[in-house]
Structure 1
Amino acid sequence: MVSLWRNSKRDDPDQPQSQDQNREEYNHQDDQDRTFNHEPTERTSLLPREDGHNLLSPDDPAVSPYNLWTVRALRALSLFALGITFVWWTFLLVSIFVSPPLIHTRGSGFFAFSYVTLTVGYLVLGLLFFAVPSKQMTIWGCVLSIILLVNMIIIVSVPLIRLEEGWVGIASIVWATMVSLYQIIQNRTVTWGKREEEERLTGREETRRSLREWLAVLCEMVILIIFGLAALLFTATLILRARDASLEPRGKMYSVHGDTFKVHLHCIGDRTTEDPDQPTILLEGGEGPVEHSLQPFIDDAYQNGIINRYCYWDRPGLAWSENAPSPHSAGMSADVLSEALALADESGPWVVVSAGVGSLYSRLFASRHLLEVSGIFLIDPLHEGYLDVVGQPGRGFVLWLRGVLSPLGLDRLAGAIIRGRTREDRVIGRSAYQTGKFIKAKLQENLVAVTMTAAEVQSARHIQMGETPLVVVSSGQRVRKDPLWAERQEDLSHITNKLVSWDVVHDAPHEVWTSGEGRQVLEKRLREIVEASRAHRE
């Protein structure tokens, strides 16, 4: 009745009313309607009126998608996902230096860390520009999701990559892919919420953007393009890894250290039962894979009949061998070699031959197998006095940074595309230092050089058998250039009491076998150490 009376009163020409009186009646009637009806909610539309009284300006702060509980719930979910991802990122960061239980991966772990880093960045980006959704963000989000999906397929489908990445790497790429898909849904939902609130509060959808919003959209696009390029480089590096995985090891892989990782061991030549005192050369590589350095020279000596049999292996993280849990010292590597030899049913007598930093590893092995090692051959060896250089914090930081960036594969991709590097180059050759496994191994070497490894080498020097035949061959270039190096080379010639020879090859570099004079000296001393070993056994 009140409504009918109000309408009839407005239509009666004999009762003229002012605009203010009409507005007052409308407001009075609205109050009465709210008394008898439900209170307005976030879904209640504000109907436009002739004077536009209840419509808001598009620039009013009240016009926001945050008014909808759906949008607020999505933002809370994003914050929760960011918290979980950051905790996981912290665990992966720590696992590079110290492997927590069940988180060790047989590979470097840098790929998993990179995927989680990308995920953290994507979630932060989505939260920073949560209220400024755009079509560009949806498009680039779709591109990123497709690339990450391809990454996931490669990791899961290639057996060696799947084994190296383990459940940690697989979970990381799956989570990164899920978050990228979620971000697309979030962007579309906020776009819908923004449109809904604009229509409800302003009467129409706002299509214009302020300068601040355009700058936000531009920033979103730039960052997403960077994310997309990084994911694309991850894909290219995984393709190279899949190609490298097809290179079969020359020897056999042995599970060691409680089946937590595998190492590669290869023995060449037949055992002889006629001469049990005939030693087997046990080869330890230097700074890089032994296949690219010392093994070709030893193989030539074997082909020429200078030696009858030799074995070589790859330290954890080098060539075909998988990475060991962190921390991992030189003494631990010596124990791993002992386990691999036992699994391969290989026994001495051994003449350990090593070069550079590998000499520390071979000396530790010799000190732990006093009755089986019948000769020590050191080629321009690294003295334990230089372990402080190996363990410099600055060097460790550079190795860590190289490892974090290694999934991008910039150097490996350039080598493959521009320089024609092959899978042999990347696994056992000149480009092996670029792989994440190699970098992780060198980082592990750096972390414990002045603590665990230094103590182990010092102990080995105290218990080394005094009558073991010893040969030291030094680089003339290094000796002339660095008097301290020369002094420490001489000191290494006294680690046993039975020095067969100490030679300084005049023009030879650190890798003595790469010069003609150096090869001649090495072959000569190799014959002598074999004969001295036989005499030592008798």
Structure 2
Amino acid sequence: MVSLWGSNKNDDEQQHEEDGHDQRATTSQDQPSRPSEDTNERTRLLPRHENGVGYLSPDDPAVSPYNLWSVRALRFFEVFFLMITCLWWVLLFISIFVSPPSMHSRGSGFFDVAYTTLTIGNIVTALLFFASPSTAMSILQMAISVLLLIDMIIILAVPRIRVEEGWIGVASVVWAALIGGYNVVTNRTVKWGKAEEEERLTGRQETRRTLREWCAVLTATVLMVIFVAITVLLTAVLVLRSRDATLSAPGKRYLVDGDKYAVHLACVGNQTFNADGKPNPTVLLEGGYMPVEYSFEDWMYDAYTNGTVDRYCYWDRPGLGWSDNAPSPHSAGMSADAISEALAIAGEDGPWILVSAGIGSIYSRVFSARHPRDIKGMMFIDGLHEDLLYKIAGAGRGFVLWGRGIISPLGLDRLAGALFKGRTKEDRVYGRSAYQGGKFLKNKLQENLVADSFTKNEVVSARNIQDPNVPLVVVTSGVHLKKDKDWERKQEDLTKVTENLLAWDIVKGAPSEEVWRSPEGAKLLEKRLGELYKGS
């Protein structure tokens, strides 16, 4: 009995133990095993391994610097900075065409866009190759940061550049320099985190790179070399601009339009008076495509020295010569208001004889209509007719001007001209290389944007209210007439702007829109100017 009971008891206990073992086995299969240590920021991204604790393969996806919260935080801020920079870039891009309140740059605004574009490229490159840090990237990022700090010093140290770029340009270059420094720190941190995670998870720091990693490093290095080259060009152009800023203007600069920008105005000669004690007229020059100082003033100076006229004044439209760029959009009427305000500040009351060339005739006609009592004569030299403004307003021309403006901060043509062609600061400010500058291109882009809308409406209105008794002289290039018959018809129509036409002269061998460059043209212009001056 005892043995049987004991035997049965042992059997029952054995069965109970087996059932308990099966239950524990089932429980262990149904429920995941608890980790031996608390989960933290280094381990929570790691997958569970059935083989127990041990080193991972270097190719295991778990071996990543992203295991560190510090690396993830740096990448988050990199994305955040990219969003901010893109928003800033869009705002700067829009301000080229329409200037938001307090966002006007007295310079071209293209430098601000260039620095911001460089910053975007820098951030995108850092994000694309975030997990593949390299020493080359750190060195190149550091070089960019140093060059941008030099740019910032130049902008702040040179008063003329500081005024042109304003707080927008300073903020753009400072932000670019800070992002460059941040990327240096990020690259080094990721490199440290990668080494630490490899040593912790694989037992050693991986010194090899896969083909994919080598391709990533090579691509990132090439991109960074390009960014360094761009930064070097930006710095070189700033050096040129600082040299150009030492060229003093022959006249004075006057703040206009609520002190938003300054225009350059210069006068030659002293005011004289007639027998009745009234002031003799002063000739007011309005340049064409190029600044008025570029050869257009030469024949006028000869007329002054020859005694044909006693006094003349000239100015640079916004963006040309020594004048700042105006806010966008900017029309001929706005320019007429700007010169009117500058003349008033300078104490110049007229009366005036308006002499203009090319598109400058559009500006002179608007000015004449707004000062009907002060105009004693007008001379158009290959003047542009309002019906031909559509050629200035062409979409293709506007796109080319915008594209040239965007790359103008690199100064490829200006640097080559200075290094290999001996171009001087006079050439770059108002001479034969002036068309390469960002301010000049911004001026032409502004003309393009409103030529067939605001400007055309203003000049048509000016024609309707023009004083019909103002003496008028029209001088036309014969070369231009041969090239364009429509131009001849429009020149003939310009002779009807007033009812007091003194002469319409066609100079056969004179260059198109530069009649004064031929000896015959220069003599004729001086003769007709003398007739206007004496007749007034």
Aligned equivalent of 2:328: 326
Which string of whole-angstrom CA distances, capped at 9 and with x for unpartnered residues, describes residues 232-284 of structure 1? Answer: 00000000000000001100110100000000001111112445252110110
SS at 1:290's partner residue? coil
Q: Paired residue for 1:417?
A: 419
Q: CA deviation at 1:143?
A: 1.1
The answer as to whether partners of 2:273 and 2:280 remain within 8 angstroms in 1 is no
- 1:482: Cα distance to partner? 1.1
Paired position in structure 2 for 1:84: 84
Structure 1 segment 149-228 matched on structure 2, within 5 A: 149-228=149-228
What amino acid sits opposite 2:146 in the alignment?
I
State yes or no: 1:303 paired with 2:302: no
**Match of 1:328, SS?**
coil
Superposed counterparts of 1:334-483, under 5 Å: 334-483=336-485
Say if 2:379 and 2:473, in contact at 8 Å, map to a contact too: yes
Q: Does 1:513 align with 2:534?
A: no
SS of the residue 2:422 aligns to = coil
Quote the offset at 1:144 in angstroms.
1.1
Unaligned runs of 5+ in 2: 1-27
CA distance in 1, matches of 2:493, 2:534: 24
CA shift, 1:105, in A, is: 0.7
- Partner AA of 1:495 in structure 2: V
1:200 deviates by 1.3
The answer on 1:265 being equivalent to 2:269 is no
Q: Partners in 2 of 1:42 and 1:282 — Cα distance?
A: 75
| 8 Å Cα contact 1:433-1:439 kept in structure 2 | yes
What 5-or-longer segments of structure 1 have no aligned partner?
A: 1-27
CA distance in 2, matches of 1:44, 1:402: 53
CA distance in 2, matches of 1:272, 1:157: 43
- DSSP-derived class of the 2:373 partner: coil
What is the CA distance between 1:55 and its match in structure 2? 1.2
Describe the superposition over 1:63-84 as per-residue Cα deviations: whole angstroms up to 9, x where unpaired: 1111111111111000100000
Change (3 A) 1:519 1:273: closer
1:17 matched to which residue of 2? none
> Residues 433-454 of structure 1, C-alpha deviation per residue, up to 9 Å, x if partnerless?
1111110011000000111001
Residue in structure 2 matched with residue 18 of structure 1 by the alignment: none
Q: Which AA in structure 2 matches 1:337?
A: I
Q: Which residue of the partner structure matches residue 23 of structure 1?
A: none
- 1:473–1:505: 8 Å Cα contact kept in structure 2? yes
Q: Name the residue aligned to 2:17.
A: none
CA distance, structure 1, for counterparts of residue 91 and residue 444 of structure 2: 21
| Aligned-partner Cα distance in 1 for 2:349–2:39 | 87
TM-score in terms of structure 1 length:
0.90
Q: Residue 38 of structure 2 corresponds to which residue in structure 1?
A: 39
Q: Does 1:490 align with 2:492?
A: yes
- Cα shift readout 1:28-81 (whole Å, capped 9, x = no counterpart): 9xx9x978x6424345799xxxx9962111111111111111111111000100
SS in 2 for 1:306: coil
Q: CA deviation at 1:526?
A: 0.8
Cα separation, 2, equivalents of 1:243 and 1:297? 29
Alignment match, 2:98: 98
Q: Aligned equivalents of 2:283 and 2:314: distance in 1?
A: 8
Give the SS at the match of 1:448.
helix
What amino acid sits opposite 1:482 in the alignment? Answer: D
Provide the rounded CA distance (Å) in 2 between the counterparts of 1:274 and 1:393. Answer: 50
Instruction: Tell me what 2:64 maps to.
Output: 64
Letter in 2 for 1:492: L
> Displacement of 1:297 after TM fit?
0.9
Deviation at 1:531, TM superposition (A): 2.1
Count of aligned pairs between the two proteins: 499
In structure 1, give the amino acid aligned to 2:206.
E
Residue pair 1:286, 1:293 contacting (<8 A) in 2 also = no
Quote the offset at 1:147 in angstroms.
1.1
1:196 CA displacement: 1.2
Q: Is residue 282–residue 312 contact of structure 1 (8 Å, CA) maintained in 2?
A: yes
Q: In the alignment, is residue 314 of structure 1 matched against residue 313 of structure 2? A: no
Describe the SS at the equivalent of 1:250: coil
- Separation in 2, partners of 1:379, 1:324: 26
Corresponding residue for residue 18 of structure 2: none
The match for 2:233 is 233
Q: Which residue number corresponds to residue 139 of structure 1?
A: 139
**Are the aligned partners of 2:151 and 2:173 in contact in 1 as well (CA < 8 Å)?**
yes
Q: Residue 296 of structure 2 aligns to which amino acid in structure 1?
A: L
| Matching residue's letter, 2:66 | Y
- The aligned amino acid for 1:405 is I
TM-score relative to the length of structure 2: 0.91
Structure 2: which amino acid aligns with 1:255? L
Map Cα deviations across residues 109-136 of structure 1 (whole Å, 9 max, x no partner). Answer: 1111100000011101111111111111
Instruction: Give me the whole-angstrom Cα distance separating, in 1, the residues matched to 2:503 and 2:296.
Output: 20
Contact 2:474-2:495 within 8 A present in 1 as well? yes
| Separation (CA, whole Å) in 1 of partners of 2:221 and 2:237 | 24
